[in-house]
Amino acid sequence: MKLVSICIPVYNRLCELQCTLEPLLRNVQDEGDDLYEVIVSINPAEDGKEAVTEYVRSLKEKYDFIYSVLDKHSPQDTNFINATNHASGKYLWIVGDDDLLLNGTVRKVAEILKKHPDVTWIHLNAARISDITKIGKVPVNRMYHVEEGYFQDGKRCAIETHKKIDTSMLFSTSNLYLMSSFYHLLSRNDGDKIFQLASTFLSANEGAAYLVDEICIIAGSNSSWGPVRSAFLAKTYNDYLRAAIGESYSKAEIENLIAYRMRHAALRSWLVIYKFVLCGDKKLNMDVLREYYGAMELSDNKSFGINVLREFYEFMPVETVMISVFLPLIFPYLGIRHYYKKARSLIERYRYLNSKNKNKELAEYMGCASDK
């Protein structure tokens, strides 16, 4: 039995997988200890092509890992669960099939766990590549900053960190947490939906936390929430937080955290909500949105906005009224903050690309991706 199970749910993205899977397997192999196991779960493509499966099988001849192929094309969560069903580790690390773990990341996690065996949640910072084919342009965008280091009170660390950081914390590849927390929530929900964000909260409560501000992951170019990103920002993130209520987190703690986020980190989501309420958003794909919300009756974008607004008013009436009244005044502030963050991001991109340790790695990744 290994300590960490790296689970990789795979779909029909051969090019990205070729750039991410083998480097990860090589890094795990180079560690030369019994810390990690790698599990690959393949969700068959709807068109029936077997290229991804054949590629994974070919790697099996060179590396020691487990792979499993679903019987038929299934929802994303089913693929996630299938991967974890083959895992035996104490810690779970779900890695996206288009996310590159930079050299040294696997070793860094191992060093953290060996030095701090009481750590139950590790968060790794990431950067995103908007277009890996445009090598002439600066492609790296740091997601955010965290205060790096060891935090003995994991619960407090989780709450304080989520006050400041937006939906990027949902990014699964950045989080390593207890397998038992994941399965506890899964069993409570009868296996219908996985709550990775709540899993990090439950896991953090079991011990200490460790935050890494250094960029350890390059999120793949296809890694985005597309037309449902705004809906996630407005509702799903908060739904996932609520899943932690009753699991060593009180209703007041979680709802106060949501209210804080909606006043600060997620303030711009109010613009999205009122855009839905007042005029809808024709660009939002309702079929994709219904896939995430299942039981919710969603006839159109406007009904979604009204449902979200009503839900916010039920547990944060004062904030809902105040933000609604002053939203026209808040809008210029959001614009200024957006351009300030954009300028700071450009500075971070420049520093990152001039890093001796990361620049070569990024170039190799981009070269691999652009040649496919």
pLDDT tens for the 372 residues of the chain, in order: 789 999 999 988 888 888 889 999 999 998 866 799 999 999 887 765 678 889 999 999 899 999 998 888 777 788 888 999 999 999 999 998 888 898 899 999 999 999 999 999 999 988 776 544 343 444 456 667 788 999 999 999 999 998 887 666 667 889 999 999 999 988 887 655 678 889 999 999 999 999 998 888 887 754 444 445 666 667 778 888 899 999 989 999 999 999 998 888 788 788 878 877 887 666 555 565 555 555 445 556 777 788 888 988 998 999 899 988 888 888 787 778 767 767 776 676 666 556 655 555 555 544 444 343
User: So what's the pLDDT on residue 333?
Assistant: 78
Q: What is the DSSP string of 141-195?
A: EE------EEES-HHHHHHHHHHH--GGGG-GGGEEEEHHHHHHHHHHTTTS---
The total domain count for the chain is: 2
Domain stop point among 65, 98, 131: 98
Tokens of 151: 């935090």
Task: State how far the Cα of 230 lies from the Cα of 240, in Å rounded to an integer.
Answer: 15
> What's residue 295's pLDDT?
43
Residue 33: its pLDDT value, please? 67
Token pair 């809902």 is found at 320
The answer to whether the CB of 199 falls within 8 A of the CB of 122 is no
Going by the DSSP 8-state scheme, the letter that residue 136 receives in this structure is T
Q: Is position 304 within any domain?
A: yes
CA 285 to chain centre: 21
CA distance 157 to 166: 15
DSSP tag of 245: B
Range of the domain at 335: 236-349
d(CA 98, CA 15): 9
Residue 122 bridge partners (DSSP): 176, 210
Residue finishing a domain among 77, 98, 119: 98
The domain boundary, picked from 73, 98, 123, lies at 98
pLDDT of residue 109: 95
Question: What is the CA angle 186-205-104, rounded to 5?
Answer: 85
Between CA 258 and CA 12 the distance in angstroms is: 35
Of 6, 191, 194, nearest to 90 (Cα)? 6
Examine residue 55 and state whether it is found in any structural domain, yes or no: yes
Which pLDDT does position 331 carry in this prediction?
79
Return the structure tokens found at 160.
Answer: 């304080």
113: in domain:
no
Query: Quick one: CA dihedral 212, 217, 218, 219, positive or negative?
Result: negative
Q: Is residue 231 part of a domain?
A: no
Residue 50 lies inside a defined structural domain of this protein: yes
In this prediction, residue 360 carries a pLDDT of 56
Residue 364 covered by a domain: no
How far does the chain reach from its first CA to its final CA, in angstroms? 36
The pLDDT of residue 345: 64
Residue in this structure with the two tokens 């689970």, named with its chain if needed: 7
Within 10 Å of residue 184's Cβ, how many Cβ atoms? 16
Q: Is residue 194 part of a domain?
A: no
pTM over 0.95: no
Q: Which of 340, 337, 350 is nearest to 141 (CA)?
A: 350
Domain membership of residue 74 (yes or no) is: yes
Question: Which of 46, 47, 66 has the alpha carbon at shortest distance from 56?
Answer: 66
Which amino acid belongs to residue 263? R
Closest to 130 measured CA to CA, from 336, 304, 346: 346
- CATH number of the domain residue 88 falls in: 3.90.550.10
Query: Are 146 and 124 contacting, i.e. CB atoms less than 8 angstroms apart?
Result: no
Burial 22-33 (b: 16+ CB within 10 A, else e): bbbbebbeeeee
